[in-house]
Chain A
Amino acid sequence: MTNQPRHSPDASHAGHSGGPLRHAAIVHHDRGEVEAVQDALEAAMATCGYSKASLFAVRLSFQEGIANAFNHGHRNLPPNTPAKVEFAVTPAEVLIAIEDQGPGFKPDAVADCTLDENLEVPRGRGVMLIRAYMHEVRYNDKGNRVEMIFRAKPTP
């Protein structure tokens, strides 16, 4: 991918020196529940000294992962079906895992939305934005769990 986002450096001091700040939650397709996890994630990142640009990247990826879980993973499941969300934040990296209860999907089968013929298609950009903004993205074999890692950019 040629269009990679720029990241400004993250504070190296990192006001947190203990183990990872971890959080696990069962989340329904509910704005309040999702925002509660997002707020906890961003609070943990702030504690660890991440920059505004890093927060932007992680927030976008988190939102896209959640949207994929509920809109695609749970498309044929009852609307109150919850997904599992976990994160672990250290000054070095942010790990986020989102697991839905759907049948899974094949991420490599998602059409390339940057091709000229797909530019006007309104959907299909979430997976590619996660890949663009996170440093590592992996799916389980079934395709219903995504793990994404954002690494802190050290100050020069």
Chain B
Amino acid sequence: METAIISGKGGTGKSCIAAAFASLLNPVVLADCDVETANLFLLFDPLPEETQVFIGGRSAHIDGTLCTNCGLCMEYCRYDAVYLSDGQVAIDEANCEGCGLCSRVCPRQAIAMVDNDKSRLYSGSFRHGQMIYARLAPGEDNSGKLVGLVREKASALALDKQIEDILIDGPPGIGCPVMSAITGVDRVVIVTEPSMSGLLDLQRLLEVVNGFGPSTWVILNKHDLHPAMARRIESFCRKSGIAIAGKLPFDPLVPEAMVHCKSIIEWAPHSGVARELKKIWNTITNQTDNNLWKHKTRVSTPD
């Protein structure tokens, strides 16, 4: 079973909740798909057993000895990535999208496309099973592709180590990396918080998720910080037919656990938040399994 935990808005507590579920599942394959700013390895300190290089696109490099400054590349580039520096044509790396058109049009073959090879994918064991995480080099493209690679690795490890559950800690936003993190999963858990931004980001995220069709759950984190807004989000979910798996209160124990590099389940297993998280996990798994079971019987019934 693959479960993805996502949130449109950052900082809603997605990683802390993913860490808690990982402690509950034990053994689990934990895939940190927040490849731009991976954090779970800080809590779980996995033993890096394997490192892979990820090519996150390409960028153009000009050979100054061949370039005649004809400016054709500048004319064709649509990203303002070619500019004149003291009369010499140069590439602006921040703007270059790696399309390679400049190197195609160059009459002197002075522009080479070089692989961006600074991103890495790590995998190894940790105290609750296996873990995969990645590090996208700053400014590099294709984080969606890297997310896909992290998930591929997770599936391979799950098969290899005979572990049933894969837990995905997803990236923020609504873009390509998120779609890559939830494609084909069995369950999606959206973590949100009771604020105006929390509600708006949840609505935008649902537009994306609805296209994918797995069973979807919402966890309302820190609900007591703004009870009225929490009610508004609850009623929005009811109207849209999205089940709320549970609500978590704001509790200083959660950041405290993080500071000690523990999940809340490990740090305070008998706290209210930990108990609530266990309940939430049971709700999600029982319901999803029931649905799947129903689905399976329906499919296997002969006409």
Q: Are chains A and B native binding partners rather than an unrelated pairing?
A: no
List residues of chain A with CB under 8 Å of any chain B CB. Answer: none
Chain B residues close to A by CB (< 8 Å): none
